[in-house]
Amino acid sequence: QVQLVESGGGLVEPGGSLTLSCVGSGRPFSSFGMAWFRQAPGKEREFVAAISFNGFSTFYADSVKGRFTISRDNPKNTVWLQMNTLKTEDTAVYYCAASLLFTIAAHRDVREYNYWGQGTQVTVSS
């Protein structure tokens, strides 16, 4: 059974930084394309960033490009989301997701992903 466990969320002031971690288990981590999504209260879950199976390709939502960095370490079964220059509009629950059939065409689509973590809250506020 595949499990994804996120950590690293919290309260941070605008302009600050946080790093989220997601540790997977139950299947070789290299089997998955990985992504981070987020969901703010009253809004739909939205794509944040994705990374290919081997980590060679990364993709970002326009709203986070240049501020967030996704990375992975397959032997450690871990994917990270480094978030810099945080804004109040980044406040949301952040979810880690794994896809067995990760494609460039559909990596922003929630339906692409087979497994999800429980989410970690990120609050950006002064």
48-63 pLDDT, tens per residue? 999 999 999 999 999 9
Binned at pLDDT 50, 70 and 90, residue 105 comes out as: confident
Confidence of residue 103 (pLDDT cuts 50, 70, 90): confident
- The fraction of the chain above a pLDDT of 90, given in percent, is 92
The stretch 24-37 carries a mean pLDDT of 94
Q: What is residue 102's predicted lDDT score, i.e. its pLDDT?
A: 84
- Residue written as token pair 């981590």: 29
Least confident of 27-31, 47-51, 59-63, 81-85: 27-31
Assign 3-class secondary structure to 35-92. EEEEECCCCCCEEEEEECCCCCCEEECCCCCCCEEEEEEHHHCEEEEEECCCCHHHCE
